Structure 1
Amino acid sequence: MKKLLKIMCIVMATWISTNLQAEELAADIVYLQTRWAEIKYQLPEKEQEKAFDALVSEAEKLRASHPQEAPYLIWEGIIRSTYAGAKGGLGALDQVKQAKSLFEQSITLAPDAMAGSAYTSLGSLYYQVPGWPLGFGNHKKAEAMLLKGLSYNPEGIDANYFYGDFLLDQKHYQQALQVFEKALAAPPRPGRESADEGRRKEIERGIAAAKKHL
């Protein structure tokens, strides 16, 4: 269950690499992504599960009010995925299954929403969730989704980070290092300073892990 415990402690989420300016997003989406980053990167780990539980409820209500708008589905999925990482254990599987469904619905509605981040988010689930019979993990599907996410946002910090982490997981260390370095060079996202700072720390850890095997 190590991968399930790891989920979205890596996940994202802000799993989202987008070129949209913060002011172009709905105010409630900006709130969700800002609150997500505060919990993930600023709260002590022991306080995160309860905080994410509350944020899941808020995200679910917002999504119910905007059922045909992909960003609301994506952000509820991201928050549920990160909540699963904070929660851990078999009880987290229900959260990642709901997240998977939300990402799939988002792709059906608008595959290019938020720079294709639903593909990146779904791909990260596929390589971190256990496979059958416990979960739906599948490395081939993971790579396909991650590459699709990169096709929408080839320079994005999250799209490159998660593909690099997948390559690290698959022991492709040299390729992982190259992708991590590209992620580290990604342009900053206005309004996402906290998320960018936290993600860069994760990238640096990934680079160090890859170099240990080279």
Structure 2
Amino acid sequence: MPKLLRTLLFFSCVFLLGVWIVSANEVSDVVQEANALLATKEVPNIERAIEVLEESLYETGDDGDVLWSLAKAYLYLGDRSEDNKLKIYEQGKEYADQAITVAPDNPHAHYWLGTLIGRIGQTKGILNSLFMIKPLQEAMERVLEIDEEYADAYYVLSRLYDEAPGWPISIGNRNKALEMIEIALELDPDNPEFKVQIAKVLLSYRRKDEALEILMEAYESPEMEIDEILRADADELLAKLK
């Protein structure tokens, strides 16, 4: 190969690598910005996060992190919407499916797919919820195959075992619900959502004093002031414990 051609090829590769690095950094910044907006749990910020992520998707093409972040954003939006919940969740699921296609070993993609499957089932009604249990369980188990320390997957499995009907109808199992949420709390001991869940499970065992103690710990988290849904869930449980 002539020296001039080798030189041109070398600089072309360097240029393309530089473009790829800049693009990857830009995507990372977008995902970080979007997730900071989502952390506020406020609808205008959730909508802004969706806008930012969808603009990035249009400009840079499919990216696993952008796609699962969109799935997460649509779940957050659906949770806080009175109308069109099902449509919103289904849009989120489409993004989660795309994320898995692009990045099949990304645990976040499988996590948000599973969570959206659960929401769609709940929105459609009890019968559909039962049909969604197995796919949701499989999605969370896939998350844990990829990352065995993914605390939120244990939390979702705890809720699934806690809320699903028991055998022979479904997989409901109080002991497994407790086991899963205990693992989640070992991995993330300060998470107020996990504390609310373990308090629910402890109440089902009639361990009211323990449930109340850990629920009051959850109220100390700043997250309780941000997340109205979590706060309402905790308030409902507190009323049962008093």
- Do they fold alike, i.e. is TM over 0.5? yes
Superposed CA RMSD: 2.5
More helix by share: 2
Counterpart check, 1:34 vs 2:73: yes
The alignment status of 1:104 with 2:141, answered yes or no, reads yes
Amino acid in the other structure paired with 2:238: I
**Shift in Å, 1:48:** 1.9
Which amino acid in the other structure matches residue 75 of structure 2?
W
Which amino acid in 2 is paired with 1:31? L
Where do 1:55-204 residues align within 5 Å? 55-113=92-150, 116-188=151-223, 193=226, 196-204=227-235
What is the letter of the counterpart of residue 40 of structure 1? D
Larger of the two Rg values belongs to structure: 2
Amino acid at match of 1:153: D
Misfit runs of 4+, over 6 Å: none
Which residue does the alignment assign to 1:209? 240
Structure 1 residues 14-42: Cα deviation after superposition (integer angstroms, max 9, x where no partner): xxxxxx9935x93433332232122112x
- The DSSP-based 3-state class of the residue aligned with 1:26 is helix
Q: Is the 8 A contact 2:70 2:95 kept in 1?
A: no
Identity of aligned residues (%): 21
TM-score normalised by the chain length of structure 1: 0.76
- Structure 1 pair 51/179, CA: closer, same or farther in 2 (3 Å)? same
Check 1:27–1:183 CA distance in 2 against 1; reply closer, same or farther (3 A cut). Answer: farther
Highest RCO, 1 vs 2 (Cα 8 Å, sep ≥ 6): 1
Tell me: CA distance 1:85–1:179, structure 2 relative to 1, closer, same or farther (3 Å). farther
The whole-number CA distance in structure 1 between the counterparts of 2:86 and 2:223 is 28
- CA, structure 1 residues 30+57, in 2 after alignment: closer, same or farther (shift >3 Å)? closer
> What amino acid is aligned across from residue 32 of structure 1 in structure 2?
A
| 2:192 partner letter | I
Tell me the secondary structure at the aligned position of residue 67 of structure 1: coil
Matched residues, number: 183
Matched AA of 2:189:
P
